[in-house]
Structure 1
Amino acid sequence: MNLHNEPFLIREAKSKEFEETGKMMVGVYSGLKGFPQPEDFPQYYDLLLHIGRLTEKPKTSLLIASDNNKAVLGAVVYLGDMSNYGSKGLATQEKNAAGIRFLAVSPNARGLGIGKALTFACIQKAKDSGLAQVILHTTLTMMTAWKMYEKMGFQRAYELDFDQGDLHVFGFRLLL
């Protein structure tokens, strides 16, 4: 999907791109100031490194932004069934909802609108599936994304908050 002549294309990742995407995600998340490092959350980073495995779950897609050279510039996991969302808290019990997880944009591609385009693609998938809402989580270390989500109409869903060790995770909801 390339609606506005962006220098990138949003599409589903091919299996041969899973490894590159996972490495990009590990680099992005481990580079967030104040975010737990791989030694703090080894299972989380293993999940990121092998992000393609999530596509084995029903109604789950790994969307990427790629440039003309086919390089992965950003990625996000779309979950069309919240029972597969895989977080703590109440989010997995949400009905008639889609989830967005693990949004990441490569540092060399920031400022191009990739995060917004990936999020919009997930919202569109949820709408196309007839779902009533989209759920996501973020942290204080991800304020750039947090502000973007709010500008896109997501609202805080305090009942979806949870703690992952010492990290407080904040829930958001967009009604469609």
Structure 2
Amino acid sequence: MSKEIIIREAVDSDREAIAGVLLDAYSQYSAFLPVAYWFEYRDSILDSIHGNAPAARIIAEADKQIVGSALLFTSSETAYGKPELGIHSPVLRLLAVSPDARGRGIATLLIQDAARRSLEWGASTLNLHTSDMMASAIKLYERLGFKRAYDTDIMNGETLVKGYQLDLLSSPTLGEEQPLRTKIG
């Protein structure tokens, strides 16, 4: 596999490949969820990919294959249909990297691109939500400077979905691209 990772905006013809990456990456959590909840979650993932709510669909390519993706929404209302959360800045959702491509910094590159886009949109924060079953993702978010945003936590059934926020104006994670491995397109 090539070392070059290309980060770019997805086009409509990429949506099926994005769905494949997301379902491949997120299916590892199906073992932790009740069957009905997993199918509901899977359907929510597919609705987000095929719907028009994301303001940006960011993908990572290696060897002309989509190996990662992230969706960027403008608010909690567009991301979750929850205006009551009061998030009026970008929300990163459904960050995923194909299991075969993990460990190459792809998730970090996708987050950096989402942060760059958020700044370009005039935002001072980038938000996301995750749960404890995604422990490795939480470690990555915290390493990149995301802080808990307790006031945006959501209860989904009996699961606490934790809010996190990155202060884009003081974040050291921006601009730490890895030359020779990354081409932003």
2:134 is equivalent to residue 142 of structure 1:
yes
Which residue identity lines up with residue 163 of structure 1 in the other structure?
M
* SS of aligned partner of 2:7: strand
Q: Is the 8 A contact 1:134 1:174 kept in 2?
A: yes
Q: What is the number of residues matched between the two proteins?
A: 167
Contact 2:76/2:87 (CA < 8 Å) preserved in 1? yes
Question: In the alignment, does 2:87 pair up with 1:94?
Answer: yes
> CA separation in 2, counterparts of 1:17 and 1:48?
15
> Superposed, which structure 2 residues align to 1:77-156 within 5 Å?
77-86=71-80, 90-91=84-85, 93-95=86-88, 97-156=89-148
Would the aligned equivalents of 1:65 and 1:75 in 2 still touch at CA under 8 Å?
yes
CA–CA distance in 2 between the matches of 1:44 and 1:170? 16
Work out the CA distance in 2 between the residues paired with 1:77 and 1:106. 15
Residues 124 and 167 of structure 2 are in contact (CA less than 8 Å); yes or no, is this contact kept in structure 1?
A: yes
Q: Which residue of 1 aligns with 2:181?
A: none
Higher normalized contact order (CA 8 Å, seq sep 6+, divided by chain length): 2
Q: Extract unaligned runs of 5+ from structure 2.
A: 169-185
Residue among 53, 67, 70 paired with 2:62: 67
Q: SS of the residue aligned with 1:147?
A: helix
Q: CA deviation at 1:16?
A: 1.3
- Is 1:13 the counterpart of 2:13? The answer is no
1:16-35 alignment, distance < 5 Å? 16-32=13-29, 35=32
CA distance in 1, matches of 2:24, 2:114: 22
Aligned Cα root-mean-square deviation (Å): 2.2
Instruction: String of CA shifts for 1:69-118, please: whole Å, max 9, x gaps.
Output: x2111111011344301165853x223x1110011110000000011110
Distance change in 2, residues 1:65/1:31 (3 Å)? same
Deviation at 1:49, TM superposition (A): 2.8
Moved over 3 A (4+): 87-91
Residues in 2 aligned to 1:162 and 1:125: alpha-carbon distance in whole angstroms: 25
- Structure 2 CA distance, aligned partners of 1:125 and 1:31? 29
Change (3 A) 1:156 1:128: same
Question: Percent identity among equivalent residues?
Answer: 29
Q: Answer yes or no: is the 8 Å Cα contact 1:74–1:115 preserved in 2.
A: yes
Q: Could you tell me how far 1:34 is from its partner in structure 2? A: 5.5
Does the CA-based 8 Å contact 2:130-2:163 persist in structure 1?
yes
Q: Is the 8 A contact 1:154 1:173 kept in 2?
A: yes
